[in-house]
Structure 1
């Protein structure tokens, strides 16, 4: 491959390997990506965020969730530091569970256009009731090994 100029994925990333300021909101957060190192191969990437927080838009009280994000990459993969900063930007963001979960999925889809994506938002009880939110873009690829998300349904005490 003579005369082919290869660009390092890190050359286009602005947050990885550098100090980064926590974004004040999801809208301000920059979600970055890198080239898929195995394009054309069906494989699953899973991000788990067991300490996700946002704010109730009505009371301002904190809401907590365990998120599981699974996707099959197409041409790009999500850069994990930028994803952490994006998810942490919800810490001061007021939105219902459904809105937070779908905002995350849609932002990832808009950024990397994966072949397939699903997200499970396992929200901890508030007012005595857990609210779990699930979304996926369609049927997973037929040849995909799709492990269980590994998050138990809320059982409470007793």
Structure 2
């Protein structure tokens, strides 16, 4: 049975304040106990929020992050705090979505990563943002992200 090395973590198991913004958020990683095995890790944030950089009004999204780890796994509490740090951050949908993905790629150097950011409409137009690092590794089971195109999502 694999035991994860948590010795380098600073957030897990501690009372932690919400970061003021994504720039201040600390993302942490732990070694993958299954290097050499291709598997998909999925994080779903169905209540992601950020602010419109022009009006300051809230924007809402359902975000799905899939990745195939290499040496590292993202520590989930740090990811949760990172995602929540966008709550008071003003940026366009596309910028939030791609910044999240690129920050994870920089931290983890995964074999593959994709983000599906399904933004709820403002001004009558939903904006969905999709990005991935390239083709997924051959033979990886990649489930559908399960978020339907906008039709009064729920």
Counterparts of 1:35-114 in structure 2, within 5 Å, are 35-114=31-110
Partner SS state of residue 17, structure 1: coil
Gaps of 5+ in 2: none
Does 2:124 correspond to 1:124? Answer: no
Q: Secondary structure at the match of 2:103?
A: helix
- Any idea what the Cα deviations from partners look like across 1:76-104, whole Å, max 9, x if unmatched? 00000000000000000000000000000
TM-score under structure 1 normalisation?
0.93
Match of 1:11, SS state, is: coil
TM-score, with normalisation over the residues of structure 2? 0.95
1:139 aligns with 2:116: no
3-state SS in 1 of match to 2:107: helix
Aligned-partner SS, 1:10? coil
Q: In the TM superposition, what whole-angstrom CA distance separates every residue of 1:19-49 from its partner, at most 9, and x where no partner exists?
A: 1111001000000000001000000000000
Question: Counterpart in 2 of 1:25?
Answer: 21
- Distance, in Å, in 2 between the alignment partners of 1:18 and 1:11 is 13
Give the corresponding residue for 1:3: none
The aligned length equals: 151
Q: Structure 1: 5+ residue runs without aligned partners?
A: 1-6
Q: Is it true that 1:10 corresponds to 2:6 in the alignment?
A: yes
The aligned counterpart of 2:150 is 154
Q: Is the 8 A contact 2:4 2:30 kept in 1?
A: no
Structure 1 position 8, deviation (Å): 6.2
Query: Once superposed, which parts of structure 1, at least 4 consecutive aligned residues long, lie more than 3 Å away?
Result: none
